[in-house]
Every structure is written in C-alpha cells, then in structure tokens.
Amino acid sequence: MAYSGVFPAAEIVEAPFGLSSDVATIVTHGADDNHWMLGYEQEFALCDIVVKGWDLCASASSVTFGDTTASARYGKVQPFGVIVRDGCETALGPKLIREREKRLLDLLDIASLKAAERELWSGPVTIAGEAVAADRNKYLKNGNATSVGAAVAPRIALAQLEDALAGCSSGELGVIHMTRGSSILLAEQLVRDGEKMTTASGTNVIIGSGYTTESATSAMMFATGPVLAHLGASTMLSDNPADYFTTTNNKFVLQAERPVAVTWDGCCHFSATVTYTA
C-alpha cells in the first residue's frame, strides 16, 4: 500500500555572503525596542574627511586625500517593513498552524535580509514613497555613484573599484557589492574569510541575493564605505489563528512582519558595469 502521508519541507538555509555575513554592522532590536522604526538620524562619520601631510619646518601641506565630498554629518534613514504571507487552501489544526507560524518566522528572518539587500541595491521602497517622504534613503543605484569607466570584464571592474575606493577613503576598510553571478566570474579574485567574503586584497564583499542583474549579459558592481543595518524582531501580525481564516473560501493566510533599515557610512560611492562574456 502506498504511503499517503506528508513528509516535512526542506530545511531553510540562508544564502551565504550576503548582508548578514561578517561584513556589515548589524544592530538587532527586540520586539519591545521600536523607537527607531519611525525613522532615525544616522551619523556618517567618514564624509568630508580631509587628511593632509604637513612639512613641520615649512608649515606647508603637501598631499591631501580622504572622503572629501562635502555632505551633512547626519542623514535621515527611514526603515521599512517586510511582510511574508503563507496561504493554505484548507483549514489547519492548531498544532499545524503553530508549526507553519514558526516556519514562516524562520523564512522571514532570511527573506527580510534579501529585501534589505534589494532596497540597498535599487531602493524600490524609497522610490515608491518619494511622493510623501521628505528625505531619500541612500541606495546604490540612485544615480549618485561615480562611474569608474566603460563596461569591462568583472576582474577589470573589480580592480578599478578597488583603486577608486582606496583613493577616496582615509585608509579605512570599504565594501564592494556584487551580484551572485558576478562572484562566479570572480572566483579566483575572491577569498573566503570565515563567514564573509573578501577580495584578494582584503576588501569586504557583499554578494547579495537581493542584488539584481541589468540583463542576461551584464550587471553592476559598486564600492562604498562600511554598511550599517538595523533589524527588528520577526513577529506574526496576529496571535489569534482565527484572524487568518477566511470563511468564504476556507483559506488560511498567515502573515509575519519585520522592520529593517540599511545604509552605508561615508560618501565614497563608485559604480562599474561588468559584462558576462567568455
């Protein structure tokens, strides 16, 4: 007789080397810590930093470098919510509902990081809310990045971004952002360092599953200062299972939410276009 039961779903595993790897500074908030969710001021300590070399005898400066783009020291960051829905067409017993709730919360912990990566990359929530928002969150494709040149092979683009970041910074460690496809083409130039990825020269790398390609044959890469993120608690929208039930079609739609925010420190912001060619 054939087995007619149900085996459990596969284990949920987060894609590696994304925002939650040991690259970004992440602040995790508890369920009762919600003062930041309506927006906060982020200090950007690396903008408008000028480093000069002085001749102590002649009292004259020679070399000047640093993140010298004039910018406000504090910027507004507007968090956004991530909602995950799980719909089931048939009625569920209380035990199965709780099991699905736990799985949904586990999934939200991962999905919210991808949503944060997508917002950091192209700012869809920021763009959608611009009509009512007084301030824009920073995102990588906002048009303010300085291009390092024409479209080139990934390894050339990586070298150009490394040089641009080194020239802009005051010597601090920056971050290079790339799609997962680009990382495959750069396998010989990237080094795994514990739970994070770096370039061969030690620059931190975020390989975001929320970072998107431009086409089937090209993608963007970016270089910035250190990445900063805030993650709230993942919670169900209701503690009462009856709130998820629709009597008209006997469908349960479980929903969970999590607030997130992400930005980067400094005004160094460079872009490169890479080509997916042999």
Distance CA 199, CA 219 (A): 18
Is domain 146-228+265-275 given the CATH code 3.30.2320 in the classification?
A: yes
Encode burial over 56-84: b for 16+ CB neighbours within 10 A, e otherwise: eeeeeeeeebbbbbeeeeebebbbbebeb
Does 220 have pLDDT greater than 60? yes
Average pLDDT of the residues in 222-239: 92
Q: How many CA atoms lie within 13 A of 24 on its CB side?
A: 26
Instruction: Kindly report which listed range (38-42, 128-132, 137-141, 272-276) carries the lowest average pLDDT score.
Output: 128-132
Q: Is 27 helix (H, G, I), strand (E, B) or coil?
A: strand
Q: Which residues pair with 80 in a beta bridge?
A: 260
Q: What is the mean pLDDT of the chain?
A: 87
Condensed to tens digits (0 to 9), the pLDDT of residues 148-171 reads 999 999 999 999 999 999 998 888
Task: List the chain domain ranges.
Answer: 146-228+265-275
Average pLDDT of the residues in 244-273: 84
Residues of the chain with pLDDT > 90, as a percent, come to 56
Q: 264, exposed or middle or buried, with CB in 10 Å at 0-12, 13-18, 19+?
A: buried
User: 2: alpha, beta or left, given left = phi > 0 and alpha = psi -120 to 50?
Assistant: beta
Can you spell out the DSSP letters for 119-145? Answer: HHHH-HHHHHTTTT-SSPPP-TTSS-S
Neighbours of 235 (CB within 10 A): 14
Condensed to tens digits (0 to 9), the pLDDT of residues 59-106 reads 666 667 777 666 778 888 999 999 998 876 555 565 677 788 888 999
